[in-house]
A and B are shown apart, each in its own frame.
Chain A
Amino acid sequence: MDVFSLLMDGFATSLSPLNLMIVLLGVTAGLFIGAMPGLGSVNGVAIVLPLTFIVPPSSAIILLCAIYYGAMYGGAVSSILLGIPGASTAVATTFDGRPMAQQGKAGLALIAAAVASFIGGTISVVLFTVFAAPLADLALKFGPAEEFALVLLAFTTFVGLGGDDVLKTIVMICLGLVLSTVGLDLISGQPRLIFGDLPGFYSGISFLVLAIGVYGIGEVLHTIETSKTAPQVTPARITFKELGAGFRAMNRLWRTMSVGSFLGFFVGMLPAAGATPASLMAYGIARSTSKKPDSFGKGNIEGVAAPETANNAASTGSLLPMLTLGIPGSPTTALLLGGMVMWGLVPGPMLFIEQPDFVWGLISSLYTANFAAVLINLALIPLFVWALRMPFTVLCAIVLVLCIVGGFAPSQKMHDVWLIAGFGIAGYLLRKADYPLAPLVLALVLGPLMEKSFRQTLIAEQGNVLAFVERPLSGTFIALAVLFFLLPLAKYLRKSPKDGVAPAQ
């Protein structure tokens, strides 16, 4: 049977009344879970996993994928409304989403995020449908050297992200890298930087603790200070007129969204890379190819669309290595993998041959989940926007509570709450001194990956550093990374230092 008829059989499964209901439920639940800072698709999937025994396996995986999808849509909501990325994949969405909300265009930003997510999701599902089998081999080509080169490429886009403040960006990247080395070393098993054997540091510093600290607490402190002199009300509303304007605005962003979709899908597909580098690179490309790069970081709708298409496309892409190789590309897909093992399905090269009903039922449900997610998300935007209109005195307290609960819940250690408080104050001071915070947070996410793959390559290649450029794939990435690094540097050197622009946050 060819791909098309297999897919039609799949739709016969996924469009049954039970499965349709499951998709709607899952997407709605996922949307709210993703919208809460501190929660995300992993949490949603983990909670629901044991409940899936009451339905047949094909419905169970549809439920999990619907939650997964819904949460990816929801992740943009807290980035835009509160400026707190709930997951590392949504960091890039804050760059322009937050400024848009502050300018009273929260509704527009949310529409952009929803539509962009839909486009990214849909294009990547089509790619998945057509290329799933051959692309599995490409994922295998990714060894440690390629992983390192890819992460390096993601890093160099920061330099572009940091506006004209290349030096400050580099300082923040270095600080983030230092924080990322805290904890037990992956390769030798030795504890590093544990500050006199504080057990809390053994598991390292988690992304969320840092992000909640510098973005959540830092932002609250900053707003308290500024609103003392001038009470700040976010004028947020949403009308049908705005909805129409939103769609028209999106219409101009086809190029950005196509780039984001393809990039997201391919980067997401690579085991160990995933949606975070994908969303960053999409943002970086959108910014550097834009006619008005200076408008990025100040509420450009394109800056919301690019990372949102990419992270949704990547979430589909990361299903590919899980299904075809049995290697999870992200924490959530690792949970999905656990679920499949539970239902007696063995993910791996044989799955497509032995279980076509399951595979194609799943793929077709990605189409329906995507469609349901965009509709439900658009319907809920007025509710999200309404939440922003709360008096600041109330909102501030709620955000503070969300920050502390969201930071404590994952590991249930007071250690993390103290860290959040510390990072909050540090974040506030860094913001005052105009240091960009995104490179700090993202260096913490990407640092461990980069360090591990770098050392693995050097061990495998007997310490030959040239190995990174000799391999065709990693060599290409390194060349691109060097290019990305040099371009803004050249711009920086040409410009006079006094017209410096505030960096993206």
Chain B
Amino acid sequence: MTVSFTRRAALGLASAAAMALAMPAVASDWKPQKPVEMVIMAGQGGGADRLARLFQSIIQKENLSSMPILPVNKGGGSGAEALRYLKDKEGDAHTIMATLNSYYTTPLRTDIGVDIEDYTPIARMALDTFVLWVNADSDIQTLDDYVAAVKAAGGEWKMGGTGTGQEDSLVTAMLEKEFGIKHTYVPFKGGGTVAKNLVGGHIDSTVNNPSEQMGFWQAGKSRPIAAFTADRIAVFPDVPTMTELGHEMVYTMQRSFVAPPGTPPEAVAYYTAMFEKLAESEEWQTYASEKALQTDLLTGDALQAYFLEERQRHNDILTSMGEIAGS
């Protein structure tokens, strides 16, 4: 409760302060007239949160926006809180949202009264990868070890991840289907908490993004087993991919930005240009390569088409998992 309040308090206060300083509007060339709210569909400390905050910091540092960008976490209900919030902001030119795959999965799983087709696509900045992790104290070294250990645990193997129906649980379901194994899936509020619980020994494995486990991995506290990618991840040259181990399990997490339904076109143009400049910045390029992110920029209609295609794909995955009835 305090968390959600204080973030919003920060925003309200800052916007009030900044509005007082705002310059008079220039009609021809649209610019934000007050601080831009950046809604984050996840809780604090996870991969989505850190990345959104990195974007915010690069935007401020490189002066890509005439007004401050204020991140606000709305991670409740697997992102449903953020989606509802953005829907209520219809036509607002000063709100953008950092999305992840729960952008498709949450509305597919629960009827929360939103259709992602209504939102305004801005830019897809990156695709994040998934890796299977165990605690460094574990005996498991290979994927075969892992499958054997999960089988031996007889369904009591604790896989930690983000909210049920979110990416981590989908990847877990793909694993279960491929190997005929069963996990006990424990949902946590963010990937950062999941990573910490693995290292603390409260769960047995995770499918964290590389950036979420990076600190612990460098400190020798967690061990990558296999990557859910087609090609090896540059920072983990010794970690085999699922594809090379003979399992067709590739899953990526999109990191994109969208705006509320009915955002004025000039505002969309402004934000699109802002993220295009951001994508070229040196800080972002360095960060992306360190954190094993794929950086194929998509904007406008191409992005909307991608979203709809991915929604269909997730619909199929969720249906095959028995999570939803299918449509």
Q: Which residues in A have some Cβ–Cβ distance to B below 8 Å?
A: 38-40, 42-43, 45-47, 50, 53, 87-88, 140-145, 180, 183-191, 197, 199, 202-209, 271-272, 276, 325-328, 331-332, 334-335, 337-338, 341-342, 346-350, 408-412, 444-445, 448, 452, 456, 459-460, 462
Contacts and interface: CB of A to CB of B under 8 A. Distances in A.
A325 B74 contact: no
B70 to A, nearest CB: 7
Contacts of A183: 76-77, 81
B200 A180 contact: no
Interface stretch (B212-220, B238-246, B251-259): B212-220
A367 B253 CA distance: 43
Interface of B: 1-14, 16-17, 44-45, 49-50, 53-54, 56-57, 60-61, 68, 70-71, 73-74, 76-78, 80-81, 84-85, 88, 106, 109-110, 112-113, 156, 158, 163-165, 184-189, 192-193, 196-197, 199-203, 214-216, 218-219, 221
B13 A203 contact: no
Given A46-B13, A334-B49, 14 more contacts: A42-B7, A43-B10, A45-B10, A87-B2, A140-B200, A143-B197, A186-B189, A189-B164, A203-B74, A204-B4, A337-B44, A342-B53, A452-B189, A456-B187
B102 to A, nearest CB: 9
A390 to B, nearest CB: 24
B163 A327 contact: no
Given A271-B196, A327-B193, A459 B185 contact: yes
Contacts of B12: 408-412
B76 A203 contact: yes
B199 A140 contact: yes
B80 A184 contact: yes
Given A143-B202, A338-B57, A445 B1 contact: yes
- Among A46, A190, A205, A459, residue most surrounded by chain B Cβ atoms (within 10 Å): A46
14 contacts: A46-B14, A186-B76, A189-B77, A199-B84, A276-B2, A338-B71, A341-B53, A341-B57, A348-B214, A349-B216, A350-B215, A448-B1, A452-B189, A462-B184
A-B pairs with the 7 shortest C-beta distances?
Answer: A348-B215, A184-B77, A143-B202, A46-B10, A349-B219, A342-B57, A410-B9
Nearest to B68: A50
Contacts of B221: 349
Main secondary structure of the interface of B (DSSP, over half): helix
Contacts of A38: 9
A327 B45 contact: yes
Contact of B2 (A50, A145, A203, A445): A445
B1 A204 contact: yes
B13 to A, nearest CB: 5
B9 A43 contact: yes
Given A46-B14, A445-B1, A271 B184 contact: no
Contacts of A40: 6, 9
B199 to A, nearest CB: 6
Nearest to A204: B1
A272 B16 CA distance: 30
B194 to A, nearest CB: 11
B215 A347 contact: yes
Contacts of A445: 1-2
B184 A460 contact: yes
A43 B186 contact: no
B219 A350 contact: yes
Contact of B110 (A42, A190, A347): A190
Given A143-B202, A326-B192, A341-B57, A189 B163 contact: yes
